[in-house]
Amino acid sequence: GTYVVAPLVPMHPNVWLWAIGSYPIMASLCVACATLFDVLVQQDRLTAQERETAEAQLNASNALAAAERARLQALRWQLNPHFLFNTLNAISVNVMAGRGSIAERMLEKLADFLRASLDADAGELSTLEAEFEILEAYLDIESVRFGDRLQVELVCPASLRAAPLPGFLLQPLVENAVKYGVGPSVGPVTVRIEAQRTGDGDLRLIVSDTGDGSAASAPSAGVGLANVRQRLALQYGAGARLEATATSGGFRAELHLPWDSQ
């Protein structure tokens, strides 16, 4: 048979003219859509890359912070082992000699000192008041060992007690003063620890002794000073410094720390 094929809807006679005339517009729309799609794909890809980069940077930052925290912890725990040995030995001697009250006092001060060192977080700042309390406990113990040969002066104005600083930062300096200032002496030696506010608002901490100045040439004293300098660099970068000099009447270590008390 014969088949007739015709459109279901009659085509307008101008439709082909419209289609031909609109071709540039349609082509532009297609190109625009393709471009938009490509932009969206690239944007999504960049977003994913940025997200991965941000995560990598965060992980690296966390790892660096953890490493610096570990370094601070390790530096803070570089306490003089001779101090612990000598303290325990002095306690034993006092017990054997029947001086129980002195031994008990030393044990209490040693417990205070060790408790503070265990409780302190290397990643957190302490206060000047807390540091002076720890130093007082330490020097009380040493005073029992050295007797009148060790004279102590602690000067911390009330206005500076809340000043922040890394925990146990002064400990190596004070240990040096006791070991090399008081240790070799036959007469009394004064160990002075003083806090001051500088003219530009920074914190100045001075540890001095009236010994013979032998700390300037002692190798282990240099280890303690290096410990402090490393901790300053980790905590403050170039914003803090330590100056240590032998004087005509002993040894002097001076710390300068930034402090914004406002």
Which band of pLDDT confidence, cut at 50, 70 and 90, is reported for residue 190? very high
Q: What angle do CA 246, 251, 254 make, to 5 degrees?
A: 95
pLDDT in the model for residue 104: 87
pLDDT in the model for residue 257: 96
- Checking 88-96 for CB contacts under 8 A at 24+ apart, the result is 90/141, 90/144, 90/145, 94/144
Mean pLDDT calculated for residue range 233-246: 91
Core vs surface per residue 227-246: b (16+ CB within 10 A) or e: bbeebbeebeeeebebebee
pLDDT in the model for residue 121: 60
Tell me the C-alpha distance between 30 and 28, whole Å.
5
CA Rg value for the chain: 36
* Burial category of 56 from C-beta neighbours within 10 Å (exposed 0-12, middle 13-18, buried 19 and up): exposed
Which band of pLDDT confidence, cut at 50, 70 and 90, is reported for residue 18? very low
Instruction: Determine the residue type at 117.
Output: S
**Contact partners, residue 83, CB within 8 Å, separation at least 6:** 138, 142, 175
CATH architecture of 77-257: 2-Layer Sandwich (3.30)
Six token digits for residue 182: 């008081």
- Higher-pLDDT residue of 116 and 188 is 188
Q: What angle do CA 196, 202, 205 make, to 5 degrees?
A: 40
Write down the domain spans for the chain.
18-65, 77-257
Six token digits for residue 133: 């309390």
Q: Mean of the per-residue pLDDT values for the chain?
A: 77
255 forms beta bridges with: 205, 242
- Higher-pLDDT residue of 122 and 241 is 241
pLDDT in the model for residue 244: 92
- Higher-pLDDT residue of 16 and 259 is 259
pTM of the model: 0.68
Q: Are 210 and 223 in contact (CB under 8 A)?
A: no
Of 131, 114, 237, 232, the C-alpha closest to 174 is 131
Pairing of strands 150-155, 189-197: parallel
pLDDT in the model for residue 260: 80
Name residue, tokens 């029947």. 98
Cα of 84 vs its chain's centroid, Å: 25
Which band of pLDDT confidence, cut at 50, 70 and 90, is reported for residue 102? confident
Percent residues over pLDDT 90 in the chain? 31
pLDDT in the model for residue 112: 83
